[in-house]
Amino acid sequence: MTSVVIPVNPFDLVIFGATGDLAMRKLLPALFRRHAVAQIPEDARIIGLSLSNHNTKKYRQLATDALKKHIPADELDAELLESFMQRVHYIPNDVTDPNGWTELVDMLGEFPDRIRVYYLAVSPSFFGVIAHGLSNAGLSDGKARLVVEKPLGHDLKSAKQLNAEIGSVFEEHCIYRIDHYLGKETVQNLMALRFANALFEPIWNSQSIDHVQITAAESLGVGTRGGYYDNSGAMRDMVQNHLMQLICLLAMEPPHAFNADAVRDEKLKVLRALRPLKGHEALEKTVRGQYLAGSDSPSYVDEAKNPGSTTECYVAIEVEIENWRWAGVPFYLRTGKKLRSQVTEIAVVFKKPPHIVFGNLSTPISNNVLSIRLQPDEGLELELMTKEPGPGGFRLHSTPLDVAFADEHQTGRMPDAYERLLMDVVRGDQTLFMRGDEVEAAWEWIDPIMESWSRSGTRPETYDSNSEGPTASVEMMARSGRRWRKIQNS
């Protein structure tokens, strides 16, 4: 099956923070790939802005170097690269200087009617300044779209402030809050699986599902990001956004239509139905961890350069959703750095048959599990019990029915999340972006947990590098008679 490319309308995309890591590692490669498949119209422009005193020629050179670093050589045809660079422009700009906007105003003024996208690839402390700068320069009218990315606040209070600041200039339908997990093909496939197949929805509830496990395990440590990461931690870095979004998509009711507000209304209901975890219960139903040094790798506290750090780089949580569909079905989340393998997976574990008719089985019947792999090797697997062939008694074993999306669709390469999301911004489709109230509802649930942690005065558990995480996390599961799935690549 070949992928279908629907060209978007002409646009000017302005990247604030154009020399930073996000722009170089993710945004320019994603735009190049959309250029390569001719999705971007010929006269669309990419305008980089940052404090550095470069000119367009120098910035094109930096952008070319970045593409060579982040895109495999066989995708980098010289002619394509050259034509892509013709779209790229650069303006040195100090966003805090009220007189610093003239050049951008003039450049955008060349095409007054086209779609304008402002991508704030800068620290959130500049979001308000830039939004107001754009407004004062007369650049924030109805065709303008503002794109922001996490951290969207540090807690509920700061998230509200941030929303209010950008909301005082841009209306909600012009604000695109990126969570790159929502742009992952497999995450969108989760919605296809649930709502384009009649098979699963009738059993997608507490009658048939025993529990759900969501794992986002990373094999790398925090490395050179240690300083930044130590002020954030796994809860703010991964749970508040990516993992909460996954819970929403898994647990939400079918929206009446696949459009931005219908989907986001349903996600919000899930966030509001999460059982609050406070005080002692928050400590009982969560585990925090920090990795120890390995034979040739430093410990978390060494990488964070903070020996007394209490920041978690691993977290596991038992989440309950208090509504009719999910009452009594725990959702277990875990995410951490420096674990055994790099794997992101959702596993829906079904209940066992109510009665076993097979008498004395040599191996017990296992639960059916539907696992949705986000990475690596995006795909679906349904574990079913089948009979082992041949005589020698009635022997059962668990057999996977496996669909690898890349093979199935012969795409060769799964598109990066940013490719999809950037084109959705240009198209004006907010379905895969977070609404302000969702972000706030997620913080509302997270804040009391973090308060309980800090009030308890306890430290995160330690765990070995390249392991499955802290033993306390295994014990947390064992208390309900369950076990984590192995952290392993398929």
Q: Please give the positions annotated as active site.
A: 242
Our CB check for ligand BG6 shows the closer of 316 and 321 to be 316
- Smallest separation, CB 259 to ligand BG6 (Å): 25
* Residues near ligand BG6, by CB under 6 A: 218, 237, 344
Q: Which residue has the tokens 């057999």?
A: 399
The answer to whether the beta carbons of residues 89 and 56 sit under 8 Å apart is yes
Our CB check for ligand BG6 shows the closer of 417 and 477 to be 417
Our CB check for ligand BG6 shows the closer of 35 and 180 to be 180
Our CB check for ligand BG6 shows the closer of 237 and 440 to be 237
Q: Looking at beta carbons, which pairs linking 422-425 to residues 24 or more positions away fall under 8 Å?
A: 422/13, 422/27, 422/30, 422/31, 422/34, 422/117, 423/8, 423/34, 423/39, 424/176, 424/183, 425/117, 425/145, 425/147, 425/176
Our CB check for ligand BG6 shows the closer of 225 and 482 to be 225
The answer to whether the beta carbons of residues 432 and 189 sit under 8 Å apart is no
- Smallest separation, CB 118 to ligand BG6 (Å): 21
Q: State how far the Cα of 470 lies from the Cα of 467, in Å rounded to an integer.
A: 8
- Smallest separation, CB 186 to ligand BG6 (Å): 11
* Torsion-angle region of 119 (φ positive above 0: left; ψ -120 to 50: alpha; else: beta): beta
Our CB check for ligand BG6 shows the closer of 150 and 285 to be 150
Helices (H), 274-373: 279-284, 300-303
Q: What is the DSSP letter of 208?
A: T
- Smallest separation, CB 243 to ligand BG6 (Å): 11
- Mention every residue, 6+ apart, whose C-beta is less than 8 A from residue 318: 285, 286, 330, 331, 332, 476, 480
- For the record, the structure tokens of 455 come out as 């009030």
- Smallest separation, CB 299 to ligand BG6 (Å): 17
CB atoms under 10 Å from CB of 117, counted, come to 21
Q: In the chain, how many H helices and how many E strands?
A: 18, 15
Helices (H), 295-435: 300-303, 405-409, 417-427
* Strand, helix or coil for residue 473: helix
Which residue, judged by CB position, is nearest to ligand BG6 in the bound state?
A: 237
- Smallest separation, CB 435 to ligand BG6 (Å): 19
